[in-house]
Amino acid sequence: MSLAVQTADLDVIGAGFVHLDYAATAPCVRVAADAVQALLPRYGSVHRGAGPRSQASTLEYERARAVVATFLGCRPGDQVVFTRNTTDALNLLARALPPGTTTVVFDGEHHANLLPWPSVLRLPAPSSPAEAVAAADRALGDRTGPALLTVTGASNVTGEVWPLRELAAVAHRHGARIAVDAAQLAPHAPVSLAGLDADYVALSGHKLYAPFGAGVLAGRADWLDAAPPYLAGGGASAWVGDRAGDVRWATGPARHEGGTPNLLGAVALGAVCAALLETDRAALRAHEQELLTRLREGVRRLPGAVEVSLFGTRTAERVGIVSLALPGRDPVAVAARLADTFGIGVRAGQFCAHPLVRRLASVPGGAGCGEAGLLRVSFGLGTTSDDIDSLLGALGLLLG
Ligand code: PMP
């Protein structure tokens, strides 16, 4: 069933079972599939050919970049670099940091935003948005030299939304920059570099209803243009001489998009961004919040399941992601039963956020879940109240 506010472009394709693992990979929507289908019979190389196929493909690729720039609220001069995914985008940014930059991160991050940084100051995961802002303020105030604060937009474990505007203001007050890992926020809410006054944003197409293989790093051009190319090779080089090392690197996105780019991935992602820009996202969000309330209230009535939260279950704004501690049970075994017996897909474990999950799995009542982790339910476009009820019914049978 699609929402009245949602065009058919955003219908998910290939339904057939209850998929509640959108945070790992969301299903593909119609407009992305159509964009790929339309391009298959006529694509050619991007930025490397004189023929009509090549010309049309170059145009489509650059159109996709322009749409993504609009989708992410890029300012004049910001760059949009196509990458493979969020992990790739954040690794690119890590490689582009000016020498001596300290990166400040919280332990609540996904590993993709915890591990790439060459010189990192790790702060304990905060227990409220205000504490996050205060901790960032202290850490950035204490340091000397260039700094980058990098933070998730919405937690891939709890779905809680981080105080991005406030963190951006703190970073800038101390002369630092801020990067937003929007892998989980962008599928659920508008993310704007200009609106947040953020410096960089990273996302993955496969979590944003496009198929695999394309992600984005968008933001300030200066660090990117000054950095060594992420992938040395054709496309990244403007001129190559006869001696080793005799090379002039391209500037702009091409500098970091060495090799033949992923045209289909970029175009599919651009098509989703265009469709979302045309959609009433506030209405989508309202529907998602209804489903979230239904899920969370149902979970409260379940025996043996405790919703985990970083910022406190009552207050925090969140997207359609909820993780449960199941004291005394193996969440991986419960997830397997949900799949095998009920045809319901969720995820269990530590979700590439080991420090955070270890901490959250030790909530009162959740003690003992430790290394086994949590059970995560996540949803988005195409999810219905029937899906949520099926999950709650199945969990009631398995945990009762
Ligand atoms: N950041 C967050 C918050 C995520 O949830 C994920 C994926 N689970 C990533 C980064 C990494 O995304 P990808 O695997 O697409 O690189």
Q: What are phi and psi of 37, to 5 degrees?
A: -55, -40
Pick the CATH number of 30-277 from 3.40.30.10, 1.20.120.610, 3.40.309.10, 3.40.640.10: 3.40.640.10
Check if 85 has its Cβ closer than 6 Å to any atom of ligand 1. yes
Taking only the tens place, the pLDDT of each residue in 311-330 is 986 767 999 999 999 999 99
* Cα 207 from chain centre: 7
Q: Which of 22, 83, 84, 86 to mutate to test the pocket of ligand 1 (most atoms within 8 A of CB)?
A: 86
| ∠ Cα 251 215 192 (to 5°) | 85
Between 69-83, 230-244, 366-380, the lowest mean confidence (pLDDT) is in 366-380
Domain with CATH 3.90.1150.10 in the chain: 3-28+281-399
* pLDDT of amino acid 362: 73
Whether the CB-CB separation of 344 and 394 falls below 8 Å is answered with yes
Q: Where in the chain is the domain with CATH 3.40.640.10?
A: 30-277
DSSP 216: E
Atom of ligand 1 nearest to the CA of 152: 3
157 pocket-lining for ligand 1 (C-beta < 6 Å): no
Does ligand 1 come within 6 angstroms of the Cβ of 181? yes
As given in the structure block, the two tokens for residue 96 are 């582009």
Q: Tell how far the Cα of 386 is from the centroid of ligand 1, in angstroms.
A: 27
Beta bridge partners of 160: 318
Q: Which CATH architecture has domain 3-28+281-399?
A: Alpha-Beta Complex (3.90)
Closest CA relative to residue 335, chosen from 399, 386, 382: 399
Output the pTM of the full model: 0.96
The catalytic site residues sit at 352
User: Is 200 in a helix, a strand, or coil?
Assistant: strand
At 366 the pLDDT is 45
Tokens of 21: 């693992």
Strand pairing category for 102-106 and 147-152: parallel
> Ligand 1: distance of its center to the CA of 87 in Å?
6
Instruction: Give the torsion sign (CA, 75, 77, 81, 85).
Output: negative
Pairing mode, strands 215-219 and 200-204:
antiparallel
Q: What's the pLDDT score for residue 153?
A: 98
